[in-house]
Amino acid sequence: MTMFEVNFDGLVGPTHNYAGLASGNLASQNNALSRSNPRAAALQGVEKMRFVSSGLGLIQGLIPPHQRPNLSLLTQLGFTGTVEQQLRKAYQVAPEILSACYSASSMWTANAATVTPSIDAADGRVHFTAANLMSNLHRHQEAEFSRRLLQKIFAHEQHFTHHSILPSTVVTSDEGAANHSRLCKQHQDPGIHLFVYGKKAFNEQNIPTPRVYQARQTYEASQALARKHQLSPEQTVFACQNPEAIDAGVFHNDVIAVANESVLLIHEQAFLNQHAVLHELRQKMHAPLQLVEIPIQDLSLNEAVSSYLFNSQLLSLPNSSEMLLLAPSECAEQKRVKTCIDKIISSATNPITQVHYLDLRQSMRNGGGPACLRLRVLMSQKASEARHQNVLGNNELINRLTRWNKKHYREEMMPSDLLDPQLVQESYSALDELTQILNLGSIYPFQKYSHE
């Protein structure tokens, strides 16, 4: 069966701002309350899609933003009255909550869900479990709408299965595909699933934990995902994050490792007992593991986090055995990081032969690089034909999105702008037109209320 991977990128929403809401995400914290540019953020993301689609000839999809501001969150937390009154009360009493209800963090679709392809699942269907994201309020509010959105796009029950979200408890804290990788000979071959967690909720083996920042993904959540997606023990490897890496700003595994087909690009300090984890991968894989391990003497954890080298996308090139590293432009600006990349692509021991540097500064300043922006979905041709067709990022759609963006998005956003009731109307107007462009119908709560 022919299988191919589609990267579904999150489209940056019109309320993109820097609020510094994510503890442990150093870029987010360091740029808190500074000026953002929603128009530039969205255009940078759209141009990324254009490069993957038109520049590389790969299939590119997109996921629309969530409704923001999420006024129902303010109501749920006791801020009542007119829209203007809600915004003003929240700004005066709890500005962090107001920032959360405006957060455009759904753009990072690597956190939207964990996905298992049909070739690996016992029932031969693609499995989705939307992440509960319970570690942070501004992300947790995404969970239910992400589930409904994925059900809308991947609706055919013959090809797709959607599971309930894991319980929103500290025991089953789930951050989605940012902590999940699949390794295989080629995309169409059976794969081994690498689940990475930061802590055991019951700490059965008394594993060390980070001292500065909270570990987000639990072992219990990762185990539950493997069960729900019908993966056997022979198909799975569970690895614990190095707590020193978490304390250095590695809040998700995709900040310190990236996998594609048989290649694993990883920092040597990514996991606890890393040698044992790699040995298990080699034992279970159906093809030789092509390991590209960056030693600490070549790149510190701090350099890895500041450059987001490992948050690059690793893409198989069409009709070729070669791969391309799609890296943030910050990697080219740091000498030691660029030296590492040059060494990787010049080596004959791995298939990574090209690098392309991309300007994603608006996303990067909030702590998300190329890999954060995409959810990988491996599908058969029949499954691809069964999903919603109007979310493929071809040139025609990308050009239309560019015009839509320039029509609706502001070029500057400051924290005080969140008080502006006009921003609410601007955002809803943009999303209303977007659903028409993507032919998704009335998916947002404000659309349903306005049509009643």
| Residues acting as catalytic residues | 175, 252, 372
The half-sphere exposure of 69 on its side-chain side, counting CA atoms within 13 A, is 26
With b for 16 or more beta-carbon neighbours within 10 A and e for fewer, the 164-183 pattern comes to: ebbeeeeebbbbbbbbbbbb
Paired residues of 36 in beta bridges: 413
CA 445, 41, 446: angle at the middle one, nearest 5? 10
In angstroms, how far is CA 38 from the centroid of its own chain?
Answer: 18
For 223, list phi and psi in degrees, rounded to 5.
Answer: -60, -40
Residue (of 294, 209, 202, 287) closest to 247 by Cα position? 209
Residue (of 194, 176, 22, 174) closest to 104 by Cα position? 22
Please answer whether residues 63 and 37 qualify as being in contact, where contact means their C-beta atoms are separated by less than 8 angstroms: no
Torsion, Cα 120 227 315 293, to 10 degrees, reads: -120
Residue 402 CB coordination number (10 Å): 15
Calculate the alpha carbon distances from 413 to 18, 99, 221, 369, 416 in Å. 9, 12, 36, 20, 8
Burial class of residue 379 in the structure, from the number of CB atoms within 10 Å of its CB (0-12 exposed, 13-18 middle, 19+ buried): buried
Please answer whether residues 48 and 373 qualify as being in contact, where contact means their C-beta atoms are separated by less than 8 angstroms: yes
Tokens in use for 441? 């119908």
Tokens in use for 52? 């993957």
The contacts of residue 281 (CB under 8 Å, 6+ apart) are: 183, 192, 194, 237, 264, 289
Phi-psi region of 273 (alpha: psi -120 to 50; beta: other; left: phi over 0): left
Residue (of 254, 315, 307, 331) closest to 55 by Cα position? 315
Tokens in use for 32? 């808190």
